[in-house]
Structure 1
Amino acid sequence: MSQVLKSKLVSMLEAVYPALDCDFLAERLLTTMGLRPDQPPPPAHQSHWSESDVVLITYADTVQQGEEKPLATLHQFLNRHFSDSVSAVHILPFFPYSSDDGFSVMDYLAVNESHGGWEDIEAIAQDFKLMADLVVNHMSARSRWFENFRKRIDPGKDYFFEGNPGDDLSAVVRPRTSPVLTPVQTDDGERYVWCTFSEDQVDLNFANPQVLIEFAAIIRYYLERGVVIFRLDAVAFLWKEPGTSCIHLQQTHELIKILRLLMEHHSPDAVVITETNVPNRENLTYFGNANEAHAIYNFSLPPLLINTLVTGDCKHLKTWLMSMPPAQMGTTYLNFIASHDGIGMRPTDGLLTEEERQRFINTMNSFGGKVSYRRTPDGRDQPYEVNIALYDALKGTAGNGADHWQLQRFMCAHTVMLALEGIPAFYIHSLLATENDTARVEHTSRLRSINRSQWQLGDLERELDNPLSHHSKVCHELKRLIAIRRGQAAFHPNATQFTLHLGLKLFGFWRQSMRRDQSIFCIHNISDEIQQVALSDINLIGTDHWFDLISGMPIENLSGSITLKPYQSVWLSNRK
């Protein structure tokens, strides 16, 4: 009997654990996942997406109603408003947790009872592709595993990464300003545990293969409850070695390959998405050779697109887009502008100058934003992310402040995102145009709370039913644009894309369907001034009939020009 799967797994494991019996380890992993050594592989370079795919990102308790469990309320709300717009729902960590709004997990196999139960998760998975977090880098200091670490018993005794104050940590890349090592008292004395993010989030020790086996069991459990898309949270920091940067190490990439191999052999439609808030070139490495992430978060898009719209200059956005390699078949980008976290500044490394970054930060501060910092290896504190609601981030321009173009600027940003190569992902507060929640920041003392509002269902429904409300205007127009996008073959996540050169006030690119039977020229006025577009500059084929998908207006004179109002977009297509 051929054992291709087992042989492939053993080879991968040997790259991570050269001193171990990897044949035995492979057997344990396959048994844990319920796989046979000869399990057939899924089709190579298979795409799990199309132009109809749109992701919605939300916390389990973003929408609430009285005593009803928030997951049940969320499910009803999604079905009522987004069943025709959204194909996948990413529910941010819904497990019992001790901090960081869910990312300090206490029990991977339980649903936070204040949110609901597994039956609520499974019900949502019946109506949408379900995306969930695999919080793989760290676990709560209040978890059972960590309590067992303190007691020096299993399971947990050797599950957490330990360091030594004498270790060479000078090159370690940090996303925070807190110390990387935290002293803890255990039953056999003081030990120093590694905490990449906070002292309540203790890093797991994947050098112990038992931790990998535990996560194989967790993955299988999620798959059997309807999760099909796995977001590997903070995965870049997974493997640690003192004396190195402790980020993007080769063992980390190998472990991603192993997790993907196990997932897709169990469920051929399973998708791995890596969350790596790092500079663009580093982020791209997580595609591997189309054998690591199926999709990567397009982390440079949010700061560059927002910067473009508040400066009225698309130079950096255009330069970046021209440098982005087309994703191989079977891989794609996850495009987003806002998330539960802030606007990452590290992804602008090498893309914006220090002066431009500071101007961006100053502009966001003037619109009510806050700044979170990280500590560099040389001890300096550098801006890590800007914490702000996207609707407020686009309320004006750099230098001139707030103006009356906020809604149009906000819509322009999403029209760009919807047309780009990749899968669009909307944070729920962007679909709802929620503003800065300064009261929540004061209540929690956490800057990220500014963009983690919670709505009472009745209040939200009244806003969405009110045609004069900006919440209603944004939600209805975004749903209309999504509906248009979902019908265009040229917007397939892997369809051809080329950047257009239309000056600094017009950001444009061309998409062509994989069958080459549809072209769409996506042109966006990213300024607060009227712009003219000479149609001869974009070379529309004279034998085709062209029209704007967004407005429905036909293009009658191909030798003429079109006028774009401030922040107006057109999708010029040769096919309905």
Structure 2
Amino acid sequence: MISTASIPTPYDDAVQARFAALWPIVESRFAKLYGADARGPAVLERLKTNLLKAAHARPEPLRALDAARAADPAWLHAPGQTAYTFYVDRFAGDLNGVRGKLDYLTELGVRWLHPLPLLEPRPGDSDGGFAVADYRKVDPRLGTIDDLEALAGDLRQRDMGLILDVVCNHTAREHAWAAKARAGDPAYRDYYIVLPDAQSAAARDRELIDVFPDTAPGSFTYDAAMGGYVWTTFYPFQWDLNYANPAVFAEMLEVLIFLAAKGAQGFRLDSAPFLWKQAGTTCRNLPQTYEIVEAWRAALSIVAPGVVLLAEAIESVEDVLPFFGGEESGCNLAYNNVVMTALWAALADGDAVIARRCLAVAARKPAQGAWLNYVRCHDDLIWNALAAYAPASDLRRWSNAYGNGEGFSRGRAFQTAEGGVPSTNGMAAALAGLTADADGDCLGARRLRLLYGIIHALDGWPLIYMGDEIGLDNDEAYQDDPLRAGDGRWLHRPQMDWSLAERRGEAGALQADLFATFARLGQRARRLATLGVAGPARPVEVSSPAVLAFLRDEGARPFLCVANVSDAPQDFELPPAFAQGAEDVLDGAPSPAGAVSLPPYGITWLVAR
């Protein structure tokens, strides 16, 4: 009698088909990266075995998710996939606390949860969790890996997904790999990069761009046990990994596979531009970095094809676009950082020229990828990201407006690399000039609603930063905490104020106005899908400098967003396709004819009939 165990199941057949299609890509990229390394063949063979084992062992609910996404290749580009990002402890205490807040997030219309680093960090200062001591454990203060898996299951039941932060450029100095390296294990010493003396380190430092010149100057840290200067791009306790070692490439891929089996539906690849190091360069956005990402994408697609990769690349658009992949797929998503920064710049000037310029550049994104559009995040607002699109005098003016009290903002200046202009810290409400005692019709609230109205109208996924939906303010108390006081970014990493959130149901309250607006934006963005709206946002040239207009016209019906970035009313003459009566998707107001009149910081979404 033939054992039924030997008969391939349809799922086994699907795995073999994916393997046949994708493994050659992994081999190709691996050969380009490690073809001359004698360790390469053994690492690749072990990786092949582990990939197939993980693919066949994928839990049934996750297989179903993969199959559903495979059956709908356009799912990634569906409008209104609202994401919500937060620190677990500051939002709800721990992972079980997050599970208890899912009704709130559902009410807001959230489709994706993106908690910031929650894997086990080093003790003490961990750069907000970005110094990981163990990729396979959760920070004990937040829960366990079982709690994480339970949260992922709860989210699937609500048709929501979980995106995890994976800090792939560096580990904590306390990670087991680093401990073995410091103990003298030659295999693990090659997981990191060590220069022999101060002169060598200083010479390489001159080639690099200093990330934290005030709080952690330089990119090398002396370690006696390592016998030299360890590469530490960010903080001395964060040791950069050596991706010239094929074992490091395989280790991090297996971390992704492990977490995907726990229910993660996406990964944010932290500090992705820094992965590959090469003398004579700034060690950012090198070709090998893009090849690593393409290899990871192909390998992960063998095991978990429904899982998305998000590139955390806060760079020029030209450097970000290759993260989406070249001949083969790379990351599914990348932060639309240049457009985000340009929108704040446009508000500072009441002039949309910089936003139009950056939208045109962002529209060059390849069709297979999607932008993650956002207004604020846990990091600083980096004006130097606009250096390729605006003169230095503009960068300085915007930096001063938002960080030095020269405009409506209540933000604060942050450090910058030599030759740059200071970045800005602050919550979106503070940067928009919104105060807690204001009402929903004040200019600050209008600015905040406008920014979120724009990012929900763009192609891609809109991201809400925790608390923006209730106008949460800066956290001035961070300076009283010794572990946070040295890093000004904690100004915009407050505790969630649930007493304010309770006011979202209170008629006339600012929180009610903002929360309802954010929820409606997600609903209206999802309606765009039913109306056949598709394609990249391309700027429309207009006579008024204060008006930002963009068109998306690659679907069944053209879509036009018109926004006033100034504090004065603006009129806009509609293009012919919209002039004879269009559907006002955002407000459901009577269709405009010929022209629209926008109040200060007003916005309208129109779909041609």
TM-score by length of 2: 0.84
CA gap of 1:572–1:103, structure 2 versus 1, over 3 A, is same
Query: Is contact 1:180-1:194 (8 Å) kept?
Result: yes
- Residue in structure 2 matched with residue 284 of structure 1 by the alignment: 321
**What is the Cα deviation at residue 78 of structure 1?**
2.9
2:552 is equivalent to residue 508 of structure 1: no
Q: Which amino acid aligns with 2:515?
A: C
- 1-structure distance, mates of 2:536, 2:502: 41
Q: Which amino acid aligns with 2:452?
A: H
SS in 2 for 1:562: strand
- 1-structure distance, mates of 2:350, 2:474: 23
Q: Which amino acid aligns with 2:129?
A: G
Which of 132, 136, 141 is residue 105 of structure 1 equivalent to?
132
State the Cα deviation string for residues 512-570 of structure 1 (Å, max 9, x = none).
352x2x222211111111112223xx21356x7423222211226x34x3321111111
SS in 2 for 1:258: helix
Aligned runs of 1:480-519 on 2, under 5 Å? 480-489=520-529, 495-502=535-542, 503-512=544-553, 514=555, 516=556, 518-519=557-558
- Residue in structure 2 matched with residue 413 of structure 1 by the alignment: 451
SS in 1 for 2:235: coil
2:240 is equivalent to residue 239 of structure 1: no
SS in 2 for 1:487: helix
Query: Is contact 1:137-1:204 (8 Å) kept?
Result: yes
- 2-structure distance, mates of 1:492, 1:208: 47
- 1-structure distance, mates of 2:56, 2:143: 39
- Residue in structure 2 matched with residue 74 of structure 1 by the alignment: 98
**What is the Cα deviation at residue 384 of structure 1?**
5.7
- 2-structure distance, mates of 1:493, 1:55: 20
CA gap of 1:52–1:534, structure 2 versus 1, over 3 A, is closer
TM-score by length of 1: 0.89
- Residue in structure 1 matched with residue 166 of structure 2 by the alignment: 134
Query: Is contact 1:369-1:387 (8 Å) kept?
Result: yes
2:487 is equivalent to residue 472 of structure 1: no
State the Cα deviation string for residues 112-150 of structure 1 (Å, max 9, x = none).
111122233223323121101110001111222222221
CA gap of 1:439–1:32, structure 2 versus 1, over 3 A, is same
Which of 493, 498, 513 is residue 452 of structure 1 equivalent to?
493
Query: Is contact 2:395-2:421 (8 Å) kept?
Result: no
Which structure has greater helix proportion?
2
CA gap of 1:493–1:353, structure 2 versus 1, over 3 A, is farther
Which of 433, 439, 451 is residue 395 of structure 1 equivalent to?
433
**What is the Cα deviation at residue 243 of structure 1?**
2.5
For structure 2, which runs of at least 5 residues remain unmatched after alignment?
1-15, 58-65, 435-440
Q: Which amino acid aligns with 2:278?
A: E
2:121 is equivalent to residue 94 of structure 1: no
- Residue in structure 1 matched with residue 605 of structure 2 by the alignment: 571
- 2-structure distance, mates of 1:5, 1:546: 45
- 1-structure distance, mates of 2:516, 2:489: 27
- 1-structure distance, mates of 2:107, 2:53: 34
**What is the Cα deviation at residue 346 of structure 1?**
2.7
- Residue in structure 2 matched with residue 327 of structure 1 by the alignment: 365
CA gap of 1:494–1:230, structure 2 versus 1, over 3 A, is farther
Query: Is contact 1:310-1:394 (8 Å) kept?
Result: no
- Residue in structure 1 matched with residue 51 of structure 2 by the alignment: 33
Which of 86, 103, 107 is residue 58 of structure 1 equivalent to?
86
- 2-structure distance, mates of 1:107, 1:552: 50
Aligned runs of 1:368-379 on 2, under 5 Å? 368-375=410-417
- Residue in structure 1 matched with residue 11 of structure 2 by the alignment: none
SS in 2 for 1:230: strand
State the Cα deviation string for residues 252-278 of structure 1 (Å, max 9, x = none).
111111111111111111111111111
Which of 243, 252, 277 is residue 206 of structure 1 equivalent to?
243
- Residue in structure 2 matched with residue 521 of structure 1 by the alignment: 560
Aligned runs of 1:154-165 on 2, under 5 Å? 156-164=188-196, 165=198
Q: Which amino acid aligns with 1:183?
A: Y
CA gap of 1:387–1:493, structure 2 versus 1, over 3 A, is farther
**What is the Cα deviation at residue 163 of structure 1?**
2.3
**Which stretch has the larger CA shift, 148-157 or 566-575?**
148-157
Root mean square deviation of aligned Cα: 2.8
CA gap of 1:531–1:251, structure 2 versus 1, over 3 A, is same
Query: Is contact 2:534-2:552 (8 Å) kept?
Result: no
**What is the Cα deviation at residue 44 of structure 1?**
12
**What is the Cα deviation at residue 393 of structure 1?**
0.8
CA gap of 1:492–1:111, structure 2 versus 1, over 3 A, is farther
CA gap of 1:273–1:47, structure 2 versus 1, over 3 A, is farther
Which of 211, 221, 234 is residue 182 of structure 1 equivalent to?
221
- 1-structure distance, mates of 2:211, 2:533: 30
- Residue in structure 1 matched with residue 572 of structure 2 by the alignment: 533
2:384 is equivalent to residue 346 of structure 1: yes
State the Cα deviation string for residues 171-208 of structure 1 (Å, max 9, x = none).
2233221121110011xx63210000010111011222
State the Cα deviation string for residues 474-526 of structure 1 (Å, max 9, x = none).
11211112111111128889524332222211111122352x2x222211111
- 1-structure distance, mates of 2:209, 2:325: 21
Residue correspondences, number: 551
Query: Is contact 1:278-1:299 (8 Å) kept?
Result: yes
Query: Is contact 2:54-2:303 (8 Å) kept?
Result: no
- 2-structure distance, mates of 1:226, 1:390: 31
Which of 587, 591, 595 is residue 551 of structure 1 equivalent to?
587
**Which stretch has the larger CA shift, 33-42 or 365-374?**
33-42
CA gap of 1:466–1:571, structure 2 versus 1, over 3 A, is same
For structure 1, which runs of at least 5 residues remain unmatched after alignment?
397-402
Q: Which amino acid aligns with 1:180?
A: S
- Residue in structure 2 matched with residue 399 of structure 1 by the alignment: none
Aligned runs of 1:352-367 on 2, under 5 Å? 352-365=390-403, 366=405, 367=409
SS in 1 for 2:80: coil
**What is the Cα deviation at residue 354 of structure 1?**
1.4
- 2-structure distance, mates of 1:313, 1:139: 43
Query: Is contact 1:421-1:492 (8 Å) kept?
Result: no
Query: Is contact 1:92-1:132 (8 Å) kept?
Result: yes
SS in 2 for 1:52: coil
SS in 2 for 1:488: helix
SS in 1 for 2:314: coil
SS in 2 for 1:455: coil
- Residue in structure 1 matched with residue 63 of structure 2 by the alignment: none
- Residue in structure 2 matched with residue 311 of structure 1 by the alignment: 349
- Residue in structure 1 matched with residue 61 of structure 2 by the alignment: none
CA gap of 1:490–1:285, structure 2 versus 1, over 3 A, is farther
Q: Which amino acid aligns with 1:195?
A: T
SS in 1 for 2:372: strand
- Residue in structure 1 matched with residue 30 of structure 2 by the alignment: 13
**Which stretch has the larger CA shift, 502-511 or 145-154?**
145-154
- Residue in structure 1 matched with residue 233 of structure 2 by the alignment: 196
State the Cα deviation string for residues 325-359 of structure 1 (Å, max 9, x = none).
34333211111111011112232112222111111
SS in 1 for 2:454: helix
- 2-structure distance, mates of 1:351, 1:8: 35
